[in-house]
Amino acid sequence: MTVAYILNTYPQPSHSFIRREVTALEAQGTPITRIAMRRPTMPLVDPADKAEEDKTQYVLEAGAVSLARAVLRVALTRPAGLARALRCAWRMGAASEVGRLRHLIYLAEACDVAARCAGAGVRHMHAHFGTNSATVAMLTHLLGGPGFSFTVHGPEEFDAPRALHLGEKMRQAAFTVAISQFGRSQLSRWVEAEHWPRLNVVHCGIEPAKFLDPDPVPEGPPKLVSIGRFSEQKGQLVLIDAMAGIVDRHREAHLTLIGDGEMRPEIEAAIARHGLQDHITLTGWLAEAEVRAELARAQALVMPSFAEGLPMVIMEAMAAGRPVIATYIAGIPELVQDGRTGWLAPAGDADALVAAVDKLSGTDPHTLTDMGHLGRLRALARHDINREAAKLARHFADSLSP
């Protein structure tokens, strides 16, 4: 059974979980056709991401004339389907923040995707995120294309469920995937209870083979690492405020910020304002092997997020045998156990992050290594990509059952 992955911008450095899922499915015998609307918007540093770009078809690169031809073909061969999808796109566009014109573009993209799916013998489509990629998949289905499913990550989808028509998408989908039980509970708010049996939890996954025999937690002053896109929801500005307090208590403390994004100028300004240039290093995006090397050098991962789904970097840090300091939000408490595998703090509370680092510093390295070991076992038990991909493949197969 060939499955088409319908994606907006792919691959992206912050979306390596999609690549891991796709490659695991292929390794288990599910052929995947990758269809994205756009090429990556950020530089790709990981060789695996670069390889994925080469395997991906890009809809918008065909140009407006090609999209118009795709619409014309559908109008001639599937007029009823086009009318059905047009009504849906028009209705959704009226309530959406991006408007009707954007949804007509989504419909044109869906006409192109329908042709690509037919040419590749696709029997099912799967989208990641409940945003425009899921919209294109749903419109493709309404045109007469294959059935579809989609994975909701959050927090964007939970911020605007009505504007995104999450309920409509879940009703039309063969099934919907949440990445945590928290995520499933939020989806349950926006669709009738009769559809709840088709809301499934499939965790994002890590590759266990890349996290063999982690080193013990290093001794010395607090050495922290934080990984993620530089955006308001990740809370890096609060972490920088916290670092000012941490350095007052631990003069040789150091934080490595891995990532990049639209808030980089504000983050750099905050570092300068607090005089923390010698205590905070910005690396930009790193390849996966480099990220694992930074985790090995750190005593703990710190995630000060305001809003999340369930961050991949937490799973990776735990698999690498490192305690995690994170905020008590979304699906994070399902993985991080306060006092056992790390520490949880209220979101937006710099003083609580300082207190958590004090606890980290006051814990002997042997105990920290034991905490990391517990976290590693928990992450591998819950987030093995091979097991989660097999679970998703079963959902694909079940969706085609009579």
Range with the lowest mean pLDDT among 17-26, 93-102, 173-182? 93-102
Q: Is 192 in the same domain as 254? A: no
Closest among 188, 95, 133, 155 to 7, alpha carbons compared: 133
Q: What pLDDT score does 401 carry? A: 76
Looking at the fold, whether 59 and 164 belong to one and the same domain comes out as yes
For the chain, what is the domain count? 2
At residue 4 the predicted structure's pLDDT band, cuts being 50, 70 and 90, is very high
Domain limits at 231? 208-382
Q: How confident is the model at residue 138 (pLDDT cuts 50, 70, 90)?
A: very high
Q: What is the residue type of 213?
A: D
205: Cβ contacts below 8 Å, ≥ 6 apart: 17, 20, 21, 24, 315, 383, 384, 385, 386, 387, 388, 389
243 with 223, same domain? Answer: yes
Backbone angles phi, psi at 306, to 5 degrees: -85, -35
| CATH code for position 121 | 3.40.50.2000
Which two three-digit tokens encode residue 62? 């065909």
Whose CA is closest to 31, among 126, 110, 122? Answer: 122
Q: What percent of the chain is helix, strand and coil (3-state, nearest 5)?
A: 55, 15, 30
Indicate whether 257 and 158 sit together in one domain.
no
pLDDT of 373? 97
Residues 235 and 342 in one domain: yes
Residues 221-243, mean pLDDT to the nearest whole number: 97
Q: Are 188 and 342 in contact (CB under 8 A)?
A: no
228 and 193 fall within a common domain: no
CB atoms within 10 A of CB 173: 26
- Say if residue 189 is in the same domain as residue 246: no
Tokens of 17: 């979980």
Please check the confidence at residue 14 and state whether its pLDDT lies above 90.
Answer: no
Same domain, 111 and 215: no
pLDDT bracket for residue 326 (50, 70, 90): very high
Supply the pLDDT for residue 41: 87
pLDDT of residue 252: 97
pLDDT over 90, % of the chain: 94
User: Same domain for 220 and 251?
Assistant: yes
CA distances from 210 to 49, 206, 324 (A): 16, 8, 19
Same domain, 191 and 270: no
Determine the pLDDT at residue 382: 97
Is residue 174 domain-shared with residue 26, that is, in the same domain?
yes
Q: What is the number of other CB atoms lying within 10 angstroms of the CB of residue 184?
A: 18
Which pLDDT score is estimated for 95?
85
Q: Is the pLDDT of residue 402 over 80?
A: no
Whether 274 and 333 map to the same domain: the answer is: yes
Confidence of residue 96 (pLDDT cuts 50, 70, 90): confident
Confidence (pLDDT) at 342: 98
Task: Identify the CA nearest to 110 among candidates 133, 126, 91, 131.
Answer: 133
